Structure 1
Amino acid sequence: MLYGIGCDLCSLSHLEKSLSSAHAAAFVRRVYGPAEQAALGLLEGSAAPLNAHRLASAAADFAAKEAFLKAAGTGLREPFSLCEIEAVRQENGAPAYRFSGQTAAWVAQHRLRARLSLSHEGGMALAFCTLEEES
């Protein structure tokens, strides 16, 4: 049974400002989980430039977090933390959620399965999330 649906748009230019500001390291730690930081090349001390593909992926991952929160029907409040909601890529390249901490406990408690779809085009990234009750 469907528990919730959420979608979100993220402007690449807006996210680029956050990732290149003086507070970028704190932003990355607060928003992106370890797997995302590694996949996006956002680990502290990384000298890799933020190219267009990585920026689009980072924006899609950010939108995925917001889409999940909307599907959960709570917004960003306890027990959720953005860095505990990770958008990862499966071996076949398909996006999926990986949860940790209190977010993982909430998903398990509610017996939910999360599905994720991502896209980016024209300076925007889109994420669509469905939460389904497991039978």
Structure 2
Amino acid sequence: MIWGVGIDLCDADRIEKSLAKPSFLNHVFAPAEQALFSALGEKRRAETAAANFAAKEAFLKAVGTGLGGFALCDLAVLRRESGAPYFALTGPAAAWAAEQGVTVHLSLTHERGLANAIVILEKP
């Protein structure tokens, strides 16, 4: 059963400017995400970071908490070997997901400087 849905759109140029600020980078992105970004070229770095940021906002919309719900760095968005994105939740976000018994589905896309994410929360 679908328990929650969230969607978000993010401008890669806006995120690219913010990535230059270490305080933003450390507040929003987990170390594993930062390592992912570092391995990419500059254009792909901004698009990937924007997609990850959109995923975090989409997750919070699906949960229904808004931006204050969980620390953004506890909502790490990583990639499987195949390239498929997934959430690696930690801290209170991981505890909440386990307590709720939800499965988190994530889809990302980006083109021409815009990144989009959709999150579906599923309960058995």
Q: For the superposition of Structure 1 and Structure 2, which TM-score range results when normalised by the shorter chain?
A: over 0.9
2:73 maps to 1:83: yes
**Structure with max Cα Rg:** 1
TM-superposed deviation, 1:50? 6.0
1: distance between equivalents of 2:76 and 2:34? 10
Say which is worse superposed, 10-19 or 65-74, in terms of deviation: 10-19
2: distance between equivalents of 1:6 and 1:64? 9
CA deviations over 1:81-127 (Å, ceiling 9, x no partner): 10000111011110111100011001111101101000001110000
Gaps of 5+ in 2: none
2:3 maps to 1:7: no
**Equivalent of 1:124, from 96, 103, 114?**
114
1: distance between equivalents of 2:41 and 2:60? 27
CA RMSD of aligned residues (A): 1.4
2: distance between equivalents of 1:97 and 1:65? 9
- Name the structure 1 match of 2:61: 70
- Name the structure 1 match of 2:102: 112
**Number of residue pairs the alignment of both structures matches:** 124
2: distance between equivalents of 1:13 and 1:52? 10
- Name the structure 2 match of 1:98: 88
TM-score w.r.t. the length of structure 2 is 0.95
Task: Detail structure 1 runs of 4+ shifted over 6 Å in the superposition.
Answer: none
TM-superposed deviation, 1:76? 1.8
1: distance between equivalents of 2:83 and 2:93? 24
Question: Helix, strand or coil for the counterpart of 2:105?
Answer: strand
Question: Helix, strand or coil for the counterpart of 2:66?
Answer: coil
1:4 corresponds to which letter in structure 2? G
2:110 corresponds to which letter in structure 1? H
2:6 corresponds to which letter in structure 1? G
2:49 maps to 1:52: no
Which of the pair is proportionally richer in helix?
2
1:17 corresponds to which letter in structure 2? K
